Amino acid sequence: MPKNQIGGTGEEIKKENSPATDAAAEKKLERPPKKKTPAKKREGIKIAPAREPAKNKKTGMVIAGGFLILLVVVVGLYIKQTVSSKTQQKELAAKIETVEEQTSAIDELKKQVEDQRQKLTEKLENVTRLWGETKQKIEEQEIRAKREQNQTAKLPALCAENPKASATASSTYPVHPRYFGLSNLGQFFTADDCGKKRNDELAAVYKNGYALGSQVELFSNAEPTAELLTAFKSLGYACAADALDNACHLWTLGNAVTSTEFIKLKPFTNLLKKETCVKC
């Protein structure tokens, strides 16, 4: 196609004269003024102010992240402490329960030991009592056996026997076996068996009365009769045990009594287990 004088085809001329072409041409014409800004001046423009929001945002995110981490740590520590506290409480409760069980077991053991001790004490008391009763019976049997031996064979010899010196009395007169165990009463009873002469002899020795006192114990199976109680009280004897007179087995005399007055107790020899002086 031949070009026109301007130097192009008709189509090219049309394109050049179209609105789109005109707009592009206008844009091209508008761009150069923007490029008029010197490069150095553009380079000198500070961009820091434009970046401040990003920096602040980053700082805020860091702070928020740190706070979140701290919060997680605090919550974790709290949870750990709570769990640990509950565990410790359970362990403490278990220990307390164990201690209570052990205490209960110890209390039960103490009770059993105390029961056993009480039973052993009762058994010991019973054994001691039985041994005392047995020993007493043996002693009483020996006393009765000695009193029954040679009831009359030795009496003449004893009546002629001279008294012996004594640390507690001026003289000690012989005692017949039938009065074995009656240290002082036996002298008076034996003298009475010998007769008036020996009675007078003892009466002269104790002219002011027998003042050493006397304590009489009855046999365990013997109860004081009304006649014996009358004799005791007439001489001045009094019950020395915590018992009524009709059940008393221990009697004590403190006042002075003449030798002949003691003869009142002679009929009750089978009830009298032993007798000794009080002020020896």
Low-confidence ranges of the chain (pLDDT < 50): 1-16, 29, 35, 39-43, 45, 48
Q: Is residue 232 part of a domain?
A: yes
Q: So what's the pLDDT on residue 150?
A: 66
Q: Is residue 81 part of a domain?
A: no
Q: Is residue 134 part of a domain?
A: no
Q: Is residue 113 part of a domain?
A: no
Q: So what's the pLDDT on residue 133?
A: 87
Tokens read off for 17:
């004269």
The residue segments making up the domain with residue 226 are: 155-276
Q: So what's the pLDDT on residue 172?
A: 87
Strands of the sheet with 250-253, listed across from one edge: 238-239, 250-253, 214-218, 272-276
The count of domains in the chain is 1
**CB–CB of 167/161 below 8 Å?**
no
- Which residues are within 8 A (CB) of 194 and not within 5 positions of it... i.e. 6 or more apart? 155, 158, 159
Q: Is residue 71 part of a domain?
A: no
Q: Is residue 24 part of a domain?
A: no
Q: Pseudo-torsion of CA 188, 191, 195, 197, nearest 10°?
A: -100
Q: So what's the pLDDT on residue 232?
A: 95
Q: So what's the pLDDT on residue 54?
A: 59
Q: So what's the pLDDT on residue 16?
A: 47
Q: So what's the pLDDT on residue 13?
A: 43
Q: Is residue 149 part of a domain?
A: no
Q: Count CB neighbours of 64 within 10 A.
A: 10
Q: Is residue 269 part of a domain?
A: yes
Give the DSSP H/E element, type plus range, for residue 214. Answer: strand 214-218
- The DSSP letter of residue 246 is G
Give the DSSP H/E element, type plus range, for residue 147. Answer: helix 48-148
Give CA–CA dist 238/250, Å, rounded: 8
Share of the chain above pLDDT 70, in %: 77
**Sign of the dihedral through C-alpha 156, 157, 158, 160:** positive
